[in-house]
Amino acid sequence: MSEVTLTRKVSFSAGHRYWDADLSEQENRVRFGNWASPYNHGHNYVLWVSTRGTTDPENGMVVNIKWIDDTLQERVVQRFDQKSINDEVEAFTNVSPTLENLLMYFYESLRDLPGAVELTHLRLDETPLLYGEWTPEMLTLTRTFEFAASHRLHAHTLSAAENERLFGKCNRPHGHGHNYVLEVTVSGQPDATTGMICPLDELDQVIEERVIERYDHRNLDLDLPELQGKCTTSEVVAQAIYDQLEGHLPARLERVRLYETARSAFTVERPR
């Protein structure tokens, strides 16, 4: 019998800070970058928990969802909701409450879920622009950006009639534009001191310089050397962005996902 994956979502609101009281202000800013502050800030966290197993022939379920919900309430919501993580969650008294460390904490807390299911994936959203994921293979961090650009879908090896038939209105001579949404995912082991896979400000700086500043409010066909002479489908653009970032980020690049519209996403992943 095939296995089935069940994913359940839970939310909680909590505050935290990136600050070591044993360090000076300057030392804290060197360690935590723009996020260093002796005062708390808060987030509306969203945690997605995925489990996998075979369907029980008697009740038709992989696991009783109420069991999962009860466990998430006890081990996540009751421990974290409306709390200051640094001050009220014992595990983080001397541990930086980063997305990465929170994911590892939730993995340890939820690895023995009730029923004959296996914990396979966790995703924790800190903001709409930042989330982390845990799987048995790796820990990742994803940053989200936006840029607006125009292009025209036109293959130079095809005739005008063939281009019009293939691309339709996307082949109109003066082009059209999109508000692209870009997700960049990196992986690694959290630093023992900061709790981060990499400094977020360094990650953001590279992506801003190598992609956003170059692509935003540009004509992709005319303004980007790496796209010159190519048919600028989102598949091609996503690959070009991956190539622009590979080897330049402060962590291992795992995935680039480009949303051309809310209905269409194109993903380039590191070869396995």
Active site residue 217: yes
3-state SS string over 115-146? CCCEEEEEEEEEECCEEEEECCCCEEEEEEEE
Q: The CATH number of 140-269 is which of 3.40.50.150, 3.30.479.10, 3.90.180.10, 3.90.340.10? A: 3.30.479.10
Active site residue 183: no
Question: 187 falls in which pLDDT band (50, 70, 90)?
Answer: very high
Active site residue 74: no
Which pLDDT belongs to residue 115? 83
For the chain, the structural domain boundaries read 3-136, 140-269
Q: Which of 41, 176, 217, 248 is catalytic?
A: 217
Q: How many helices (H) and strands (E) does the chain have?
A: 10, 10
Q: Which of 170, 183, 202, 226 is catalytic?
A: 170
**Assigned CATH class of 3-136:** alpha beta
Q: Which of 100, 133, 254, 260 is catalytic?
A: 260
Lowest-pLDDT range, 6-20, 48-62, 79-93, 214-228? 48-62
**Mean pLDDT across the stretch 5-29?**
95
- As a whole-number percent, the residues of the chain with pLDDT over 90 amount to 91
pTM above 0.75, yes or no: yes
Question: 176 falls in which pLDDT band (50, 70, 90)?
Answer: very high
Instruction: Give the strand pairing for 218-219 and 252-261.
Output: unpaired
Closest among 14, 159, 148 to 81, alpha carbons compared: 14
Instruction: Write b or e for each residue in 186-205: b if 16 or more Cβ atoms lie within 10 A of its Cβ, otherwise e.
Output: bbbebeeebbbbbbbeebbe
